[in-house]
Amino acid sequence: MPSPQTATKDADQSKVQKEVQNDVESVDLWLSDGNIIIRSVPVGASRTRTLYKVHKSTLARHCDAFASLFDGPHAALDAGSEHRDGIPVMDLPDDADDLRHFLKALYDWREMQIHRPMSAIAPDGRWNIVPPSYFGILRLAVKYGADDLQDLVKTVLRAQWPSTLQGWDELQSCPVDETHTCIGDTAYLPPNPARAIRLAIDCDLPEIIPTAYYALSCLLRTFTSEGRVPNMRSLLAGLATEEVASVFRSQMLFQLIVQNVLLKGPIGPWVEQCNRPAENRAICTVALRKWSRNTLVQGQHIDDPIGWLRWLGAACNLNALDLRKDACVSCRRQTRVSILKERQELWKDLPSIFGLNQSVVSQWERVSLPKLKPALKSG
């Protein structure tokens, strides 16, 4: 009869063998000459774990954390690690897909650059959607100190969630093709703004937070009006209760702001510039007020107030038949200017509308306003 010590040892060996059987070698990251095995062991995940056989030198060259770990003699790491075919195994508590995309990006950044939007429209004429894999890549790039990779991914995210109104308008003007495919024939849909908010908070990217909040508010308004509750719940996953509450509060604020813009427009200070004689200027005022009342009815359930104000401020919408007949050219033009100016103010005020902290407000004020070109010096 075996002793208790022997039975325990046999049980431990059986357990190890069982765990090894649940380890799966990565198909595309199992390099024959690799000298370190990375094992994805996410907390609370299933017992199936993915192994990546890579090079210490590659990890150390791109990541400060690995450079510190591998610096100097490797005896301590090798002696304290489990081995597989004579190669040390290092466990990382990260999601297997996130780790795979992260390691692939370290080896070949060209895969990242395929998705990198050099302009608002992709070379094939379709919207260059940010792949969901970028979110995991950035988290691990920050965690392990891959500074160059951080900069690359942040550039992509800034393009997806621009801080300027001009950048937002250009992005919204791009044709969206939800069947757009990238590497691996995988369909990429527009990224979840709630995930972008959480990522920006975790990875110090404050300038995209107001834009992502605004996009989330627009989507929620659409889902609410269409009764798509399951979609709405999944969209909010990952946000704190107060963050969700601020999004819903913003929708009421947006409605009040739009109403104020329309009510203020027809009685602006430009009434003195009216083309009509002074005794007939009331005709323009009455016409514009009637137009704004009718427009308010149309705008009761708008999903995208900033986009709607852009549409409203377009000259073609202020040249409607009733306005052309009753309001002079000067009053129509000045009303348009007023609406577009209020739209710019609305964009600038996004951080305060969503109740964001001062650090986000300061960063937003720094990057959201258009940059003025310096005057050329004479001589």
Mean pLDDT within 347-375: 74
- What would the pLDDT profile of 260-310 be if each residue is shown by its tens digit? 777 665 555 556 678 788 777 788 878 877 777 777 666 556 778 888 888
pLDDT of residue 182: 36
The span from the CA of 59 to the CA of 90, in Å, is 12
pTM, full prediction:
0.74
Mean pLDDT within 349-355: 91
359: CB partners within 8 A, 6+ apart: 206
pLDDT of residue 265: 57
- What would the pLDDT profile of 57-97 be if each residue is shown by its tens digit? 999 999 999 988 887 666 556 665 788 888 899 999 999 99
Mean pLDDT within 160-167: 87
- What would the pLDDT profile of 201-217 be if each residue is shown by its tens digit? 888 889 999 999 998 88
The span from the CA of 335 to the CA of 357, in Å, is 34
Where are the domains positioned within the chain? Answer: 20-102, 108-249, 252-368
pLDDT-derived band at 37, boundaries 50, 70, 90 = very high
| 191 or 327, which is more confident | 327
Beta strand pairing status for 49-54 and 23-30? parallel
Strand partners, 50: 24, 40
pLDDT of residue 167: 85
